[in-house]
Structure 1
Amino acid sequence: MLFLGDDWAEDHHDVELVDGNGGKVVRKRLPEGLEGVTRLHALIAEHMPADWADLDPADAAAQVRIGIETDRGPWVQALLAAGYQVYAINPMSVARYRERHSTSGAKSDAGDAHVLAEIVRLDHAHHRPVAGDSAEAEAMKLVARTHQTLIWDRSRQMLRLRSALREFFPAALDAFDDLTAPDVLELLGRAPDPTRAARLSRSQIAAALRRANRRNIDTKAADLQQRLRAGQLRQPDAVQAAYAAIVTAQVRLIAALNAEVEQLGRVVADHFGRHRDADHYLSRPGLGVVLGARVLGEFGDDPHRFTDAKARKNYAGTSPITRASGTRKVVLARYARNRRLGDAVHQWAFCSLKGSPGARAYYDTLRARGTGHQAALRQLGNRLVGILHGCLKTGAAYDETTAWAHLHPSS
């Protein structure tokens, strides 16, 4: 076999090709893009052993293992399309391997290419090849991730808005529970400071509530008007005007993000609805369209990606890690994981408490034993991922009774 390390940068790739004994065959710097990939194919073909000449091109390409520190992008897709065995190596792992080759602390792109080649030559069994997910699953993962990122961005802008209001307009925080709600944004856009808020009429407040489809409009409008007119400490006029401009800008940003989140949510739902496994995921208690798309997109649909339930749990970050030395043993949460998937599974565990009696009983048992809320949700998520893996492997539909019949919290 041949082993190639690929240390990538934005505009070039440092590659090193080694043989089965670790001997350096060739080292090159290739440009990014089509020209670089073409030269890489030619480089590999030029140094293939003579006895590979009679092999089918696909079989010959399968004899080449490539290590690279990413699993996405057109370059990686081109390597996969060519039939090479591609391993996405975590940069943290590469840093640790580098210390085996040099204790001086020296680092270079060419040196990292050598380390990557040695990793796939000696330790490829301890790393996961890049998943062969379908294009549909990859597209769904992209839109689901962007949708989640927009929600996180909205939360950041909301916290900035809250911070500004706390400094000069605390009555707004007392009056409004959700600073991302459309009626709240409309009222803050119309009256971004205490002076203008106190002048809002009850009919203006009621109209905003009506457009947001609120209930008990008259009662809520009267309550809001009273809270906004309540006495409070004020900043000097110049400072208040500055804060009002900040609030106006934040309100516009949040309103724009609300629109984009809603629009992209429909795109996520469309991609998820067209996937062959959509109904299978939707049958899980606690999984809706958006959350189901996140879980499916992050796990992918390659049936050979996870060899067992433990591998799937490790990837989701739900399985704990153990640190044992001598008589000391500590079990900790796993923080090296796919963080987006871990967040989705955590939300799935929380949502399953309402839809699954088995999940609720499992969670309550953990809580009764003194386990904290977050730790109990992690253990519940671990069980949910295990159940999902079993159903995906066997093709069996989810059954509440069967799924929870023999599962008990581990000690």
Structure 2
Amino acid sequence: MTITCGIDWAETHHDVALVDEAGQLVAKRHIGDDAEGYRQLLNMLTEAGDSPKNPIPVAVETARGLLFACLRATGRKVYSINPMAVARYRERHRVTRAKSDHADAMALANILRTDADVHRPLPADSELAQAISVLARAQQDAVWNRAQLSNQLRSHLKQYFPAALAAFQVRGIGLDSREARTVLAAAPDPTAAARLTRAQLRSLLRKSGRQRNIDTWTERLRTIFTGDYLHQLPLVEQAMGHQTAALVGQLDAACRAADDLAGATAKAFDQHPDAEILSSFPGIGPLTGARVLGEIGDDRSRFRDARALKAYAGAAPITVASGKSHAVHHRRVKNQRLAAAGYVWIFGALPSPQVKEHYDRRRARGDRHTAAMRHVFNRLLGCLHHCLATGQKFDPTKAFPALAPATT
């Protein structure tokens, strides 16, 4: 008898339901999100016929937390079902939209009973690949947080301190630079900045880590800060300075977190066997390679073919046809992190002659910049799938045979 398990997730407890091949409830239980709850779940599965050779598959909506990490480590198939899909399955049996934890657990178990083939289990990635995924996502979140705080600081400074923007919003230097964070922490308002002496500016620049052109920077900052600008009322300006100091503190913490995570991510990526293959592709460095590897994993059976990987990354187009209507669109439902890493990857790969020529050909055919970049991403993803499957490095003459120079 085939048994399937559904678990409705919550922060402190979970509802578990086991159903047989006829859809009849075999067992149900309300367990806690702790070691005792995990033991109760294993006992339920064992009593229902679970064994190492024939483990009972488990369906969940949100595969996170210690309990599901332990379930995944046992080697059984764990399916993470999209909550919207679960809602549609629920409507097959009840038209009322009343939500029940036990009913959701039953719906999850029945999804595996009837349609397990159209859903993918969580990949069997190695421990190192899972660690790289955690670090790469954390570093990417830190970068996004840093950009958000930098934009907040820029918007705030524009309201009362335009000299700071003139000083640090220049090519190659931003508000998230060490110089900007150090100077703004010491002088968060225009009055305090104008009072900074040349000696104090030199000291702040050295404190930030700058070693070259200190005198040039000092004179430039001194000229900007003592220039003629509009001012807020004194007390208002002082209050906004306090807000700037708080924002600079948050931005400094975000910048240090992004740098620390970048180092840890690159170190973990270099230890993975697939790093050599990924690094052979143009435009892929340690961080970009870690982000790509963290999202696709190292389970070779995860993607049936290159088309599945391209669809997962959002690089493959999608065709919508109904009657006489026929349209081709780019994918909106995709792994957003992999798509973001892909844009950085292709942007860094454009200096490669073969990649640049392929991009230019797509532009000449009428593609816009984003569409051409997505097409190049689609091409390189197919190459990546092939290289990982065969264990060989990237070869531009094989990837772009039509663009290879003719030999005599």
Once the two structures are TM-superposed, the CA of residue 60 in structure 1 deviates from its matched residue by 2.6
TM-score w.r.t. structure 1 length? Answer: 0.91
SS class of match (1:100)? coil
- Aligned match of 1:85: 77
Give distance in 1, aligned partners of 2:353 and 2:63: 38
Partner of 1:126: 118
Identify which of 54, 60, 76 aligns with 2:54.
Answer: 60
- Decide which of 274, 285, 305 is 1:288's aligned counterpart: 285
Deviation (angstroms), 1:20: 1.4
Equivalences, count: 398
CA change 1:215–1:320 in 2 (3 A) is: farther
Q: Does 1:341 align with 2:347?
A: no
Distance 1:396 1:260 in 2: 35
**Aligned AA (1:180):** D
Provide the rounded CA distance (Å) in 1 between the counterparts of 2:398 and 2:64: 38
Q: Give the C-alpha shift of residue 259 in structure 1.
A: 2.1
Distance 1:273 1:330, change over 3 A: same
Provide the C-alpha distance between the structure 2 equivalents of 1:235 and 1:253, rounded to a whole number of angstroms: 24
Residues in 2 aligned to 1:370 and 1:205: alpha-carbon distance in whole angstroms: 52
Contact 2:283–2:349 under 8 Å retained in 1: yes
Aligned pair in 2 of structure 1 residues 225, 246: CA closer, same or farther (>3 Å)?
same
Aligned with 2:15: secondary structure?
A: strand
Equivalent of 2:227 in 230, 245, 248 = 230
Match of 2:27 in 1: 26
Q: Sequence identity, in percent?
A: 43
Match of 1:390 among 383, 386, 391: 386
- What CA distance in whole angstroms lies between the structure 1 residues aligned with 2:222 and 2:33? 61
Counterpart of 2:302 in 1: which secondary structure? coil
* Alignment-derived partner of residue 246 in structure 1: 243
Is 1:180 matched with 2:172?
A: no
Matches within 5 A, 1:196-275: 196-209=192-205, 211-213=208-210, 215-275=212-272
Displacement of 1:237 in angstroms is: 0.6
Decide whether the 8 Å contact of 2:202 with 2:215 is kept in 1. Answer: yes
Please, what TM-score do these two structures have when normalized by structure 2?
A: 0.91
Q: Kindly provide the amino acid, as one letter, of the partner of residue 269 in structure 2.
A: F
Residue 242 of structure 2 aligns with an amino acid whose one-letter code is A
Q: Which amino acid aligns with 2:307?
A: K
Q: How far 1:190 moved relative to its partner? A: 2.0
Distance between the aligned counterparts of 2:203 and 2:396, measured in 1? 46
The reply to whether residue 191 of structure 1 matches residue 192 of structure 2 is: no
- Indicate which of 301, 309, 312 corresponds to 2:309: 312
Q: Measure, in 1, the Cα distance between the counterparts of 2:355 and 2:92.
A: 45
The structure-2 alpha-carbon separation of the partners of 1:204 and 1:404, relative to structure 1 and needing over 3 Å to count, comes to farther
Cα separation, partners in 2 of 1:324 and 1:229, compared to 1, 3 Å: farther
CA drift of 1:84 comes to: 2.7
Task: Report Cα offsets for 1:91-111 as digits up to 9, x if no partner.
Answer: 122122222222221221111
Contact 2:7 2:15 survives alignment (8 Å): yes
Q: CA shift at 1:23, angstroms?
A: 2.1
Q: Structure 2 unaligned runs (5+)?
A: 404-408
Secondary structure, in 3 states, of the residue corresponding to 1:58?
coil
Aligned position for 2:406: none
Establish whether residue 399 from structure 1 lines up as the match of residue 395 from structure 2.
yes
SS in 2 for 1:123: helix
- Matched-pair contact (CA < 8 Å) for 2:179–2:210: no
Write the distance in 2 (CA, Å) between the matches of 1:333 and 1:146: 27
Deviations 1:46-96 (A, max 9, x none): 233xxx9xxxx32132xx222111334322232234343221111122122
Shift of 1:29: 1.6
Q: Distance in 1 between matches of 2:151 and 2:72?
A: 42
- Code of the residue aligned with 1:22 in structure 2: it is G
Question: Matched residues in 2 for 1:30 and 1:381: separation?
Answer: 45
Matched, 1:106 2:98: yes
Quote the Cα distance in structure 2 between the aligned partners of 1:230 and 1:38.
Answer: 70
C-alpha RMSD over aligned residues: 2.1
**Which residue is 2:44 aligned to?**
43
Offset of residue 34 of structure 1: 2.1
Q: Secondary structure at the match of 1:87?
A: strand
**Contact 2:139/2:262, CA 8 A, preserved across alignment:** yes
SS in 1 for 2:227: coil
Distance 2:221 2:73 in 1: 60
5+ long unaligned stretches in structure 1 = none
